[in-house]
Chain A
């Protein structure tokens, strides 16, 4: 079983599946964490990332306020151009108050969504917190590159809240990674790097 491209290519495998659970303020930067050997948080988070399927990779942690949902993805084979790619997904309500859940998946540029583009779940009673909902979708990479499979989840319960997720899907060899690096922006006379944005101008002319 092939685990996410990010997991195996971009980061050391031993650390690839370690996820801090979530934070609106970055947990890695919280004071008590910086003073504390990170083994606890990292190990706990690593354990958290292996809840029901050790190969499933958390797509995102929560940060800003949002729906109490976590999501994990697992690419079931190495992505290749033109070959359907199954993606296993686990969506987990983290709060006991959710009565309806809708998740819409989007392939975006470079990934054609073939099936499983939407997951809907409703319940006459609140869904049990911590119990994953399994889902499978299929995308077909249309060319080599780094693409993003995204998901937008809306949870209904005491009001409606949303959360967005995405994972990178690397199609092709690692040279793609090199080709996508940004060019150094031009420096101002002070040496400072500036990203120039165009203005619409109006007014008098000399």
Chain B
């Protein structure tokens, strides 16, 4: 709480600083100090639409709460369409106060933006991807400043008309912004000097669950028309989170856990490392360890940011508001293990929260998790699974190591000894899935099997991993051979998550990858039967794998 208060104080300080500038005639559009100024102040709020009571109730527009727009940019603009006369920020209660010249026509604009330069710093905006990425802004009407202090409260309404949207959905961008506010405040609490790379939240009422197809240019064009497929994180430059807004099927602007889940991916990619290969995922699946961690982290983070373990996602079916939920506090994973995102999210949230339940006797808060994510997870020679995370967390919190082990054990993870899950005994139902990283020495040959018993592309067993220690600078050659006729082994080499080489030839039953100019160190090797990534998997396909240094 003290940390939160400190963060709020930082924002208030920033507000005061900007207001002082504005009061001195500052602002990007002013050219001369006004002869006489007046104070324009007020509160900025939005309709925060909660979920209905009980499960599967969907959004409840009858219980809309008026919530503050926090940390957003407020401008006084010479109206209509004139220059910016003053600018500042709303505080944690949504209040603002600015000075402007007396007796002129102006309007108040609240930008769907949280912007701060310096340290800490951030640049979060909400934009319309179907309208040239334009920034959303809440605009008041034009008025004359007169000669006395004025109160102008601005409210962003949901636009809900009783049975559907009947007017502008002004609240939507500010609800998205509010979810971001909660997310980055959580990080600031652990890292007060954090500088956040730019993130654009792309929301539109036209954003539908139509999956774009084709090449990158085609996909970009389709996203610009609203065909975004689903709410997702795009790790481009700048980073973006696309958010569904299609009122007929699926809107996510008020589903703040959904937004925060994607923000969790932004966090992991920007401040930690995310080696996830993406792909379909679900709490009932045995997933590639990297995917399980990334998605489990996203859901756990959303609960941390919201202070609510119940993730809810609304949708509209036959015109009726409904939702489904995921309780990240639920410890009863159907298929526990490091390959299951439900198990990962349960562990992550229990590490964070104050409520002890089941095997949970630890309450670390966010700072230790942030420390683990931004150190070992970022630099590990292994891939970004839960193992380097827990390994780092244990190392940084030795007094809690037993409690951490107990949480992991309850989800059938082995006691963590290294980043590679070296002594893991939970094989997910197939002994060939262990060890997770098989250590291989130069010149040795090992048998590796790519399997598809759990599905294809990103499921446990599709891709197998090896660990190789290069003792002196040089080259690594990986050779897969002796596969069955018609098989197609492929190979990749990673150094701390960076792909250093890839061999995806089409030669039958064999593949060779040679990467030169490598520094001494530990490398991760990925091998898979190519068809096990697609829709016609061969299933069990075994190869001899030989790794050599030169």
Contacts and interface: CB of A to CB of B under 8 A. Distances in A.
Contacts, number: 337
B235 interface: yes
Interface residues of B, number: 124
A189 B535 contact: no
A60 B210 contact: yes
B326 interface: yes
Given A21-B280, A95-B282, A159-B324, A195 B134 contact: yes
A22 B244 CA distance: 16
B213 A16 contact: yes
A11 interface: yes
Contacts of A25: 232-233, 235, 262, 265, 269, 274, 276, 278, 294, 298
A31 to B, nearest CB: 7
A160 B534 contact: no
B514 interface: no
B535 A49 contact: yes
A10 B215 CA distance: 11
B229 A63 contact: yes
A182 B281 CA distance: 34
Given A15-B213, A60-B209, A31 B274 contact: yes
A48 B534 contact: yes
Interface stretch (B16-24, B140-148, B407-415, B416-424): B140-148
Contacts of A190: 28, 84
26 contacts: A11-B215, A19-B211, A23-B278, A23-B279, A25-B274, A26-B233, A33-B278, A36-B502, A39-B504, A60-B209, A60-B211, A61-B280, A65-B261, A68-B282, A70-B280, A150-B209, A157-B284, A161-B324, A189-B83, A193-B134, A195-B135, A197-B136, A199-B110, A201-B155, A205-B143, A206-B147
Given A192-B134, A199-B156, A200-B155, 14 more contacts: A25-B262, A30-B276, A32-B494, A60-B209, A94-B282, A152-B249, A161-B326, A186-B81, A189-B77, A193-B135, A197-B168, A200-B157, A201-B141, A206-B148
Interface of B: 28-29, 38, 42, 56, 77, 81-84, 108, 110-111, 128, 130-141, 143-157, 168-170, 173, 208-211, 213-216, 218-219, 221-222, 225, 227, 229-236, 244, 246, 248-250, 252, 258, 261-262, 265, 269, 274-285, 294-295, 298-299, 311, 313, 315-318, 322-326, 334, 455-458, 490, 492, 494, 497-499, 502, 504, 530-531, 533-536
Interface of A: 6-7, 10-12, 15-33, 35-37, 39-41, 43-45, 47-51, 57-68, 70, 94-97, 104, 106, 108, 129-130, 148, 150, 152, 154, 157-162, 164-168, 180, 182, 184-186, 188-190, 192-206
